[in-house]
Amino acid sequence: MGDISFACRACRKELEVEAGLAGQDVACPACGQVMTVPRERQKLTFKGQRSARAPGGAVESAAGEEDLSALSDIHAFEGDRERFIQRRRWWAAVRRVCVLLGLLLSLIGVGYGAWRFYDARDTRQRQAAAALARQEEARALRQTQQRESRRLSAAARRENPYWKLSDGEGDLLWRALNTLHRSAAAEKAFHDWVACDRELFGAFSEQLARIQDADAIEPACQWLAGIALGLRGAPAPLPPLDRFRELAAARLAVKE
């Protein structure tokens, strides 16, 4: 097979390539224009005219065989073919870009979902650990308060023979005092109420133990006032009834 010669459509440079590249895309070495190598055409003969018989019986073409080899350099629809190839390459590149973008978005979605899953799991674990820590702290505080209440109740029974509160009632009293005062002030208030109960011959502890709802607070205050007036007379000072009301309400709150 011979070589194929053709001119570049952009720079009009004459190019010569091997015949085996016919129909394939090549780039011009001068300007880089991509073109399709034209196929080598055979010489064409015009068959439109009838042959005329020569004298002697031989058939002779009237116009002879017309040489149409000059048409071999004419490439029909070559520009449309180039544009079609370029569009096809462009759409192929667009499809590849879309596929890559789809894969990237899929990876982002999977990564975001995994991050949300592990973040939610860590959040639940932290919340569970915090709740467990709060429960442990509350349990330790409750045990400490129980030990303190038993100690104070034993001391109250030693100091006041009229003390009528059991260990359970003493625990409620100690918890109520802790909601109203700090630890040191709460212990001082406990001893003050023990002293008040001793002066009233056990009336304070008796009335406090009888209070089961808010409606029983005011009758208990009146009872304490009557006991104080009966024991000491009219000029005697009354017990701190406002503090007693506050203490009774706090005791009912911690009891619930």
HSE, CB side, 13 Å, CA atoms: give it for residue 159: 16
CA dist 91 to 36, 77, 95, 103, Å?
19, 21, 6, 18
Q: Which pLDDT value is given to residue 237? A: 63
What are 208's two structure tokens?
């406090």
**pTM of the shown model:** 0.51
Q: Residue 68 phi/psi, 5° resolution?
A: -105, 25
Q: Which pLDDT value is given to residue 120? A: 93
Q: Residue 5 phi/psi, 5° resolution?
A: -110, 135
Q: Which pLDDT value is given to residue 2? A: 58
Q: Which pLDDT value is given to residue 63? A: 44
Q: Which pLDDT value is given to residue 96? A: 94
Q: Who's near 13: CB < 8 A, 6+ residues apart? A: 7, 28, 30, 31
Which of helix, strand or coil describes residue 226? helix
Q: Which pLDDT value is given to residue 59? A: 45
In tens digits, the chain (256 residues) has pLDDT values of 457 888 887 888 888 888 777 778 888 888 888 888 887 655 544 445 444 444 554 444 444 455 555 555 555 555 677 788 888 899 999 999 999 999 999 999 999 999 999 999 999 999 999 999 999 998 998 888 889 889 999 999 999 999 989 888 989 999 999 999 887 898 899 999 999 889 888 889 999 999 999 999 999 999 888 888 877 655 556 778 899 999 999 999 988 7
Q: Which pLDDT value is given to residue 60? A: 47
Phi-psi region of 77 (alpha: psi -120 to 50; beta: other; left: phi over 0): left
